[in-house]
Structure 1
Amino acid sequence: MEMNGSNSNLQSDNKQEAVKNPGDETSGSTAQDESWMKLVNLQLLSNELECLICSSLIFDPLTLPCGHSFCRICLTRAFDFALKCPTCRAAVYMDPLSHPTSVALKALTQQLFPE
C-alpha cells in the first residue's frame, strides 16, 4: 500500500517539475501535447464565438451597445418579443436589420472556422 502512496507522490513531483520547466525535454512537452493545447484553445474560442440565442457559431454578427453579440437573424427574432439584450436585458434602441455587421467578429469566425 505504501508503494501506491509513494508512486502517487512521485507522479505529483513529476507534474510539478513539468510546470517549473516547461521548455525542458523532460517536462513532457511533445508535439502531441501542443496539438492538444491548440485544440483546447480552439474549443475555448468556439465557445466565445457562440451565439447565446441559437447556441451555434455566430453568423452575420451584431454587437449591441452593452457588448453582447448575436447572429443578426437571432437578434431580429428576439426583438419581436422585446427590445432588450437577450443576455443582460439592457434596453436597445436600434434596428438589427440596418445595424452594421461586426466586421472584426465576422472575420475572426470566418478565419478560425471556415466551414
Structure 2
Amino acid sequence: MIQRFDTGPRMSEMTTHNDVAYLAGQVPEDTGVDIVGQTEQVLHAIDDLLQQAGTDKTRILRAEIFLADMADFNGMNEAWEKWVPQGATPARATVQAKLAKPDWKIEIVITAAIA
C-alpha cells in the first residue's frame, strides 16, 4: 500500500511504501537567516515528517543535500552534525544546485526505514 502525506496538486511532502518513507525536498520557510538557520529549519521539518510516518532520524537510509553555494558547506555541516545521531549517520551526498527559489540556501531529500 502506498500512503501519501500532505498531498497537493503538484506533489506530496512524503510517500510511504513497503516500510520506507520517501520525503520530498525540504526547504526553509524563513530565508532571512544564514545557512545554519536554514539548515536547522529543514532538519526540524524532516523530524516532523518522519514522526508522521512513525519513524525518526535514527532510521534514515539516505540523505541528498542540495546547496545553492558550496561556500555554505561548513555551515550546513555545523547544523547537520549537531542533529544527526552519531553511530546512525546515513549515506549522504551533497551537491551544489540552482534551487527553485533564489533565497533558498539548502534543500534536503530523505529516504528512511519505517520498521
- TM (norm. structure 2) is 0.24
Which one has a larger percent helix, Structure 1 or Structure 2?
1
Which one has a larger percent strand, Structure 1 or Structure 2?
2
- TM (norm. structure 1) is 0.24
Larger Rg: 1
